[in-house]
Amino acid sequence: MWYQAGMLLPTLAALVLTQAPPPLTTVSEQSGWKRTGRYAEAESLCRAFPKAFPGKVRCDTIGTTPEGRPLLALVASADGTLTPAAAARKQRPVVFFQGGIHSGEIDGKDAGFWLLRDLLAGKEQPGVLKRVTAVFVPVFNVDGHERFNPNHRPNQVGPEEMGFRVTAQNLNLNRDYVKADAPETVLLLKYLNAWDPLVYVDLHVTDGAKFEPDVSVGLKPQKSGPPGLRALGTKLVDELFTGLTAQGHQPLRFYPSFRVDDDPTSGFAYGVPPPRFSHAFWSVHHRFGVLVETHSWKNYEQRVKATRDVLEGLLKLVARDGAALQAAVKAEDQRAVAGQVREVVLGWKNTSKREAIAFKGYAYERLPSDISGQPYIRYDDTQPQTWKVPYLPDVEPAVTAKLPEGGYLVSAAHAAWVAPKLAAHGIAFQRLTRAVPAAKVESFHSKDFQFQVRTNEGHQGLTAKGEWRPDTQDLPVGTLYVPVAQKNVQLVAHLFEPAGPDSLLTWGFFNAHFEQKEYIEDYVLEPFARELLAKDA
């Protein structure tokens, strides 16, 4: 028996080798794009890539999630430019892309591993990683990723099971970029700021109606933001879409959500979201933020391929045009540091311009529902149909703030929680080490304010209309001073200008200051009122 086993060993070894999957292939590829792997696969691949491509890949642990899982990133460069310091020294453009911020929308994870493997092996775009460093976070919402279930996204075609939209703390990371509540957000912000990527790409899957286009790419700035960057952003999208169309895709320049829910005839609009969203957040840093949304009704293989093709196209364009893009970004940084930015747009709206577009949808009919009593849409995706619908292509400022001459002051009473947020954002600030009595400042006054009825992301929001007025305040030791003459001036304004949609005030961090705290009895008020009337009726 011993000899028989010995004779069989070579045969068994050969059998095992022939059945082993190709190196660095994902569960998705191995399953024919039916499944996606659990997070253990991402951990294993992060360790395996540096071994397969020594000197060209790093596996970074950004930190640990609330449930104790590592938040990981792969850094890839063909010439070993694998740290923020090395990239800065070489003036190397960095493209940072992430999957799984909403972990049910997991196309980006599998597309990123697939693309990096082929780029590093020289199968695609040989030489591109000598001119650009790629930083890849496979899954941002790691704890949400492990809440696997087949029913998390009922109108998404594959994979068979997927993670959940929000974190273990039930926070939506793609609403958290400014307020930075989630521990995951704080970890990522510090890592993102260390790399300071030229382009930051967030990979999603959209829900919604049935139509033919398979991917939308929302790149900012194009029609908003610094004028010097708009033309470059538009050029990036134009050339990216030329390549995607040649590959058989039908890319969209706008987020494909109807202006009126469930009504195709309402059409679409180009929008500029507030900086709570990833791509808008990075664009207020006067860099390029990109939102990629594949379409949930395409199958998983189609969606992953579309995501990969977008990433490959962006890497190719940045590798080619990186120097010009970096020069434009540097010029905007210099303007901000020199204090030349005196006004910041906090919100945008569509202009009155309308145009008709031909949009490739499917035949549909609106019917009354005998179940809900409401009208509903029934699509027939066997019958392609071109819709003639309105489109709102342009935007204009809706909310604008004039910046203070010096900067913003945060009272010592709030410094303990504001300072860590500023640090996470890489915003420069100082602490007063000696008191300043009777300082000439401006303070915000509001009599017209309203609390939101429902909470949002655990906050009771506040809308306060008011104005800044000249004031005199004693500034104790520990008061924070946040100058506006700094690179992140736009983000500073979004944090501290009350009218901003993502200001700390709007999110409800200062609600206690809008509540009545002291009172006076009616029997005291009555004679006082009579006294006043007697003096001046």
Which contacts of 371-378 are long-range, i.e. CB under 8 A and separated by 24 or more positions? 376/262, 377/209, 377/262, 377/264
**Distance (Å) of CA 386 to CA 130, 207, 212, 383:** 43, 20, 10, 10
Residue 388, class by beta-carbon neighbours within 10 Å (0-12 exposed, 13-18 middle, 19+ buried)?
exposed
Give the mean pLDDT of 37-48.
98
- Residues 205 and 104: their CA atoms lie apart, in Å, by 9
Share above pLDDT 90 across residues of the chain, in percent, rounded to a whole number: 94
Query: Which of these, 81, 23, 17, lies nearest to 55 by C-alpha position?
Result: 81
pTM above 0.85, yes or no: yes
Average pLDDT, rounded, for the chain: 95
Q: Which pLDDT value is given to residue 208?
A: 86
Model confidence pLDDT, tens digit, residues 192-245: 999 999 999 999 999 889 999 999 999 999 999 998 899 999 999 999 999 999
Is beta strand 462-475 parallel, antiparallel or unpaired with respect to 430-431? unpaired
Q: Where are the strands (E) in 393-505, listed by range?
A: 395-402, 407-410, 430-431, 436-451, 462-475, 480-483
Cβ atoms 293, 204 nearer than 8 A: yes
Q: In this structure, what token pair is assigned to residue 486? A: 């700094």
For the beta carbon of residue 499, count every other beta carbon within 10 angstroms: 19
* Residue-by-residue DSSP string for 132-160: -EEEEES-SSHHHHTS-BTTSSTTS---S
Which pLDDT band, with edges at 50, 70 and 90, does 20 fall under? low
CA 68 to chain CA mean position, Å: 23
pLDDT of residue 2: 41
pLDDT digits 0-9 by tens, 117-150: 999 999 999 999 999 999 999 999 999 999 999 9
Six-digit token pair at 141?
Answer: 């919402």
Residue 79: strand, helix, or coil? coil
- How many Cα atoms occupy the beta-carbon half-sphere of 384 within 13 Å? 6
